[in-house]
Amino acid sequence: MIVRMRFGKLGKVRWTSHRDVARMWERALRRAKLPVAYTGGFSPRARLSFGLALPTGCESVAEYLDVALEAELEPALVAERVCPLLPRGIGVLGAGEPEPGSGSLQEEVTSCMWEISVPRSTRSELDEVLSRLMGAASLPILRERKGHVVSDDLRPSLLALFAQHTHDELGTTLVAELGTRPRGVRPAELAELLDIELGLARRTCQWIERGGSKFEPLDVLPAVPAVAVERAS
């Protein structure tokens, strides 16, 4: 069976690479003595499938992992056994089974929601910049791909941008829905387009769009528990 888990990556652990996070999960699942399925060959590896890689330095409460098991277990039990063995800042926020026939997370996710602090801009200033970006016909940016610098138009990937609210100390919060196809947009690239300094970025949701409807990779998710935030401090 496949157990899909939603987890958070908060606090200092946000500076850990995607590959190192995968190693953390492999170690925690092994210590939990769960019946994880392994690949064959001379170097068997746990059959884990992660969603879209989170840029290093960003936080998230919407990361996903599919774990293949050799025996049937309640997803909640899997989460309960593995959660205490994960490092500080990594917390399981929900667990369940993906829909039958679901594809891989990397193939199915079409957009992500982000909340990004903008420490040195008022809401009116940010609204003006966002209006300019959303009204642009194209937004070219230079990227390196396979050792070559190429120009990509990011405008089709900017699905929604708006200022949410203002904090006295943290500045304005930018809420962004960024498409993932054909390539995702990183918060650092969005900052380049905006030509303003952005603060901490947190991924809050991953969307799958099918048949004109949007839904998250798990049907039912609990609210983010306080303990997941506390473990990151």
- Domain tally, the chain: 2
- Residues 73, 117, single domain; the answer is no
Strands (E), the chain: 2-9, 48-50, 59-68, 90-96, 109-118, 140-145, 148-153, 158-167, 171-179, 201-210, 213-215
Quick one: 117 and 146 in the same domain? yes
Cα-based angle 104, 61, 53 (whole degrees, multiple of 5):
45
Predicted local confidence at residue 229, as pLDDT: 43
Please name the amino acid found at residue 80: E
Q: Which CATH number belongs to the domain containing residue 8 in this structure?
A: 3.30.70.580
Q: Tens-digit pLDDT profile for the chain (233 aa)? A: 999 999 999 999 999 999 999 999 999 999 999 999 998 878 888 899 998 999 999 999 999 999 999 999 999 999 999 999 999 999 999 999 988 878 888 889 999 999 999 987 788 888 999 999 999 999 999 888 888 888 899 999 999 999 987 655 667 899 999 999 878 899 999 999 998 889 999 999 999 998 888 989 987 555 444 344 444 44
Same-domain check for residues 210 and 111: yes
How much is the pLDDT for 225? 45
* Cα distances (Å, whole numbers) of residue 102 to 16, 107, 109, 187, 219: 29, 10, 11, 28, 12
* Closest to 173 (Cα-Cα) out of 96, 105, 118: 118
Model pLDDT, residue 226: 39
- Please, which residues bridge with residue 220 across strands? none
SS3 state at 107: helix
Which CATH number fits the domain that encloses residue 121?
3.30.70
Question: Do residues 87 and 61 both lie within one domain?
Answer: yes
Instruction: Provide the residue type at 28 as one letter.
Output: A
Residues 82 and 115 reside in one and the same domain: no
Kindly state whether residues 210 and 222 are assigned to the same domain: no
Query: Which residues, listed in sequence order, are joined to residue 162 by a DSSP beta bridge?
Result: 175
Q: What pLDDT is stored for residue 145 in this prediction?
A: 80
Q: What is the pTM of this model?
A: 0.88
**Domain extent for 90:** 2-98+218-230
Per the CB < 8 A criterion, the answer to whether 154 and 204 are in contact is: no
**What pLDDT score does 91 carry?**
92
Other CB atoms within 10 Å distance of the CB of residue 137: 6
